[in-house]
Amino acid sequence: MNTGTFNPPEIDYLAIAPILIIFGTAVLSVLVEAFVGRTARRPVQLVLVIGSLLVALYFVISQAGTRTITANGALVIDGPALVLWGALLVLSLLGAMLMAERTLDPSGDVFAARAAALPGSEDERQFTQRGWVQTEVWPLFLFSVSGMLMFVAANDLLLMFVALEVMSLPLYLLAGMARRRRLLSQESALKYFLLGAFSSAFFLYGASLLYGFSGTVSLPGIAEAISAKPSQGPLLILGMALLVVGLLFKVGAVPFHQWTPDVYQGAPSAVTGFMAATVKIAAFGALLRVMYVAFGGIRWDWEPMLWVIAILTMFVGSIVALVQTDIKRMLAYSSIAQSGFIMLGVIAASAEGLSASLFYLIAYGFGTIGAFAVISMVRQSGGEATSLSAWAGLGRTSPVIGAVFAVFMLSLAGIPLTSGFVAKFGVFAAAIESGDTWLVIAAVVASIIAAFFYVRVIVLMYFSAPAKEPAVVAVPSAFTTIALAAGVTVTVVLGIIPQPLLELVANADVFLR
């Protein structure tokens, strides 16, 4: 094996600049934590975070059209990767805005003053009283974003696994840092961590079996091995199954979904919004790449399995959402159901399926982050009013916020003139073209069920008498306002003029292999 000479890998630094920028800023931001004084930390961190996201976004946009494989085939920068990068960076920017919000909670911040302090302890009380805020969330946030960027561009399983962990570990921590209801938050973080580690193990085991099968971890290499020996049995199948389980966990597909409601409910709303939007995008990006590039040749093997998973996901998500009484849990089930719909695009296994999935992910990301922005604003004395009953009559007491939330609900339900409609239409059309008509029929039935609980929220907001302890809408600072405005604008504009984005994703409908 050893040839004796070492050839350093050719790395196209410009092409992977977005990853490097975010990762480098994350390291820098750890140093800021170490050396900058307590009061100056927050502004410095915010400048770093927002600045680096914008610069990275500039690099993504400036190299639209780049199609290259670099770092010895480990990273691939192609159409889908660039589109996903753009979406991830913009949504991360909005997520950062939500996390930076400080005027909504009267006690100052959405994150616990000291994450290590015991909930309810004297230490915690003192930290809070002194008005300490935590800025460690920002390095964590940046590490997570850099992991996501790497995840959707990874062209081999090893790098994909590293990216998966870089993306997930900070999220586990972020989920546990809510300032209020800390026990719930910490419980959710622990659950997320344990189950996430469990699923990572599946992913890694699957990757090793695939290595055993093909002798390589690169996705195109696996595809080559498959076409070289197509009837190779259990090793490939078992490896693929375990690998896919790891990814399905991240997208929240049934039956790997059970962490979702607990984590969405427990994590601070800002983090939930960020995570719900971006992790879904990153995980589906990776799932699409693995399925299309590595396993495209045996799609007849995995499609029926995904059929089952997709139908389960759509129906369990939609049906269980019907009986939720907590709005964050309801949105968690909604995100499960949406995963089922996006899976239609994966199953289509065509260029149309890929571009429709990309559009869906973007539409879903903006709608979701906006919905969580609204949730972070609707409050009661004890913090956020997440109980659905407190939302009764909200549309009449706060017409603007009610209307904005209604737009998000309508979009998630897939009502025309919102981005959700165009998105659903796209994946359904792609699935029908690939001959999955029955799956689409099932999806339509599921989306009717789903529409019911989305519309129920609107009915509750507009046609119900206000609750005894009605929620009030806190006035946000510019941060949340910008995020909310961006969310609602994109949702409506993509519903009315989807053509530019449709063209963009249509130009990004092939994976480079």
Partner 1 sequence: MTELMPAEGVFSLIWLLIALPLAGAIVLLFGGRRTNSWGPYLGVLTVSASAVLGVLMLLGLLDRPAEERTVEQTLFTWVFVGDFQADMAFQLDQLSMVFVLLITIVGALIHVYSLGYMAHDPDRRKFFGYLNLFVAAMLLLVLANNYLLVYVGWEGVGLASFLLIGFWQAKPSAAAAAKKAFIINRVGDVGLSLAIMLMFVTFGSVSFDDVFRSTSEASEGTLTAIGLLLLLAAAGKSAQFPLQAWLLDAMEGPTPVSALIHAATMVTAGVYLIVRSNAIYNAAVWAATAVVIVGLITIFMGAIIGSAKDDIKKSLAGSTMSQIGYMIFAAGLGPIGYVFAIFHLLTHGVFKAGLFLGAGSVMHGMNDNVNMRRYGALKGLMVITFITFMAGYLAIIGIPPFSGFWSKDEIIHAAFERNAFIGIATILAAGITGFYMTRMIAMTFFGKPRWEEGVHPHESPAVMTIPLIILALGSTFMGMALLFWGNIESWLEPVTGFASEPTPLPTMFYIGVTLVVVIIGAVIGWITYGVKPVPIDPPHGSWLTRAARKDLYGDAVNDVLVVQPSLATARYLSWFDDKGIDGFVNGIARWVGLLANTLRRTQSGLVRSYALSMVGGVFVVVLALLLVRMN
Partner 2 sequence: MESSRFIVLPAPLIHEAPEHYACIGREGFHKRAKSFSYEQGAIDPVNVYTPILILGILAFGFAAFSIIIATLTGPKRYNRAKVDAYECGIEPTPQPMGGGRFPVKYYLTAMMFIIFDIELVFLYPWAVAFDQLELFGFLAMALFLFNLAVPFVYEWRRGGLEWD
- Separation of alpha carbons 109 and 174, rounded Å: 14
Cβ 123 to partner 1 shortest distance, Å: 27
198 in contact with partner 1 (CB under 8 A)? yes
Answer yes or no: are the C-beta atoms of 295 and 348 closer than 8 Å.
no
Residue among 221 and 420 whose Cβ is closer to partner 2: 221
Q: Give whichever of 39 and 231 is closer to partner 2, judged by the CB atom.
A: 231
Structure tokens belonging to residue 486: 């961006």
Strand order in the sheet with 378-380: 383-384, 378-380, 472-473
Which residues within the stretch 401-430 sit at the binding site for partner 1 (CB under 8 A)?
A: 425
Nearest-approach distance from CB 289 to partner 2, in angstroms: 18
What is the distance between the alpha carbons of residues 116 and 197, in angstroms, rounded to a whole number? 21
CB-wise, 370 or 498, nearer to partner 1?
A: 498
Q: How many residues does the chain have?
A: 513
**Which residues from 447-466 bind partner 1, rule CB under 8 A?**
449
- Report the alpha-carbon distance of residue 184 to residue 372 in Å, rounded: 18
To 10 degrees, the CA torsion angle through 363, 145, 282, 18? 90
Interface residues with partner 2 (CB under 8 A)? Answer: 4-6, 8, 27, 30-31, 33-35, 116, 226-233, 297-300
DSSP 154: B
Nearest-approach distance from CB 499 to partner 1, in angstroms: 5
448 binds, among partner 2, partner 1, none (CB under 5 to 8 A by kind): none
323 in contact with partner 1 (CB under 8 A): yes
Nearest 5°: the CA angle 138, 489, 473 is 70
**Is residue 237 within the footprint of partner 1 (CB under 8 A)?**
yes
Q: What are phi and psi of 195, to 5 degrees?
A: -70, -35
Report yes or no: 388 and 457 within 8 Å, Cβ to Cβ.
yes
- Residues 467/387, Cβ–Cβ less than 8 Å: no
Out of partner 1, partner 2, none, which partner does residue 37 contact, by CB within 5 to 8 A per kind? none
Per CB under 8 A, the segment of 68-76, 137-145, 279-287, 299-307 that binds partner 1 is: 299-307
Tell me the C-alpha distance between 365 and 378, whole Å. 20
50 versus 235: smaller Cβ distance to partner 1: 235
Q: Is 204 in the site for partner 1 (CB under 8 A)?
A: no
Chosen from partner 2, partner 1, none, partner binding at 198 (C-beta under 5 to 8 Å by type): partner 1
Instruction: Report the interface residues with partner 1, using CB under 8 A.
Output: 190-191, 194-195, 198-199, 202, 233-234, 237-238, 240-242, 244-245, 248-249, 254-256, 258-259, 261-262, 300-302, 304-305, 308-309, 316, 319-320, 322-323, 425, 449, 497, 499-500, 502
